[in-house]
Structure 1
Amino acid sequence: MSITTFLELKNVTRKFSVEQPLFSAAPRELTAVNDVSFTIEKGTTLGLVGESGCGKSTVAKIVAHLLPPSSGDVLLEGESIWHGSHKTTRSLPQRIQMIFQDPVSSLNPRKSIGKSIQEALDVHRVGSSADRKKVVTELLERVGMRAEHYARYPHEFSGGQRQRVAIARSLVLNPDFIVCDEAVSALDVSVQAQVLNLLTELQNDFGLTYMFISHDLAVVGHVSDVIAVMYLGRLVELTSAQALFDNALHPYTQMLLEAIPAPVPKRRSAGSVPDGDIPSPLTLPKGCPFHPRCKQVMPVCKEVTPQWLEIEKNHHVLCHLYT
């Protein structure tokens, strides 16, 4: 791990037991995340993109210390967050925070937004009561709200304002790393742009490191330095944002790029959209999981699982087309 690497996932796998109907066979296992590895450099943003159900949010919960991996590990500046010292574990809430998709459900409707933001300071006994309130009001103003909003409740604000409150809450303990799990997907397009710009400003001002999760490749491309593409629990491509948009290698990544709406509609290639539905993660096809939907499928794809390859410097792909 390089000296600038802030966070590293090492062969992380997460399995869940799935109960079967009465009188059926024993419970089966669903592999939500399958041998995922990547690094995030300090002060940068890694975008994690893929269709719903690919395992993005499970990765987010593992990284945020909310869900343990079945195997593998997560290292924060070289020390395990799951198998490290008690001191490391206790410090994690002050180092890693998370912004959730739905600000309505992530905020307590019975608490004013000021009290919701201040709660972490109260738990960790940071400063006096007056000091805590001052920190919260300053944060509210920093994310585009007003100090007098402290005493108001979540239902009094728009979706974009509530997400700004959620961002302020994630910053209140002055963390190093923030996981943004579909943080703008519930917002209108114009509000999305405002929130994305705010996140970029905060990253520059506070030296934050982000993992930004979304199903929208256009949004991920706007904020990310590096992009990881997931399909059915596995990474299928990993490279810089510029390289991904200039030269996507995996057929699935190419499909996601084709799905980005163009400002001026144009006719797409007839072969750009895959056929069929996403396979069930309980009954994955043999070989490459993407082969039932792939327009470039070869006989080997149906029999052999592809290997993780570095095709160009820092451009990795999981595909038989490049073996």
Structure 2
Amino acid sequence: MAEVDLTAFQDNVQTLKNMAHSRLFMAVIKTNAYGHGVAEIGRAAVEAGADRLGVSTVEEGTRLREEGIRVPIHLLSSIMPNQASEAVLHDLIVPVSSENMADTLSREAVRQAKNVTVHLKIDTGLHRFGINPGQAAVFCRACYDLPRLNWEGVYTHFSNADEGDWLTTKQQFSRFMKTISYFSQKGCHFPIRHAGASTIAIERQDMHLDMVRPGIALFGYPPERRQRQMVSLRPVLTLRSRVLHVRDLSPDTPVGYGDAYVTSDYETIAVVPIGLGDGYPRGLAREGEMLIHGQRASPTGAISLDQTMINVTHISNVKPGDEVVIIGRQGNDVISARETANWINGNVDDVLASLTERVPRIYK
């Protein structure tokens, strides 16, 4: 069970919004709100004062519209041409990274007799999406006056900001601003300029421009360790389970698939019903830990699709039904999503966004 603290989330929204030197604040809730639940988190973000929402896919944007959310919703990833119809229908703000997409959206908007709001993506160094700054003149001539396109914004995404590589980030920011200036000289105007995700929102007010768009920080985790001294945020998610079964095993007993672990003495193994199918990665079998009776216990043997076995030999009186905390606090100890990410040599996104739909979300 994933327990989602909406009060903590809304406090984080307010904290980051108060830091913003921009007129607009986008709450990025992509990838099912980093595993927290896009619909519930979307409503909470709007209630907390977010001006806009950012998602990854047309499906997420459509879900928010079906939930009655009316604030502007940005798609932050490029879409396929066959998704243009639904994006226009549900008034989603679409990123444009090519002449072909601009033309496709224009034709679809004409067909539906609607205007479609678009934001032009500039590639300043990430080399994922966006037009090359050197193509600005050609793009402006070809696309700016296409019918039914509302060129509301222009944006970029930095490649090295989280790492604190400010030399590269400043170069990319300068490239972005010069491209915007060039567009303006050619009569192509974009009222909303934005470049700042969580790290920029926290550290670089000089790059906030017209809108900031924090994501993972909203859920209580600044992207990098250095930022913990700059902002006070509260983790939003606690992941709990319960002991399903307990077995007392003799020495030299193989445990789990492939005999990945063999007991060295008389040991007690507890079975916890969480596994790969829930988004609990196999890599945690090497270094991961869970909390039970306020003490840490390590996975034993291979993590399976539906269960993980933990060694509780050192913990007294473990029985079926006992609470197990995978992420969160129990007693005087806490396991954070960041600590869990470190065990798999990953980041917080890897841990939170991997939680699958079959994990029940409880909102409080």
TM range (shorter): 0.3 to 0.5
Say which one has the larger Rg: 2
TM-score (norm 1): 0.34
Q: Which has the higher contact order (CA 8 A, sep 6+)?
A: 1
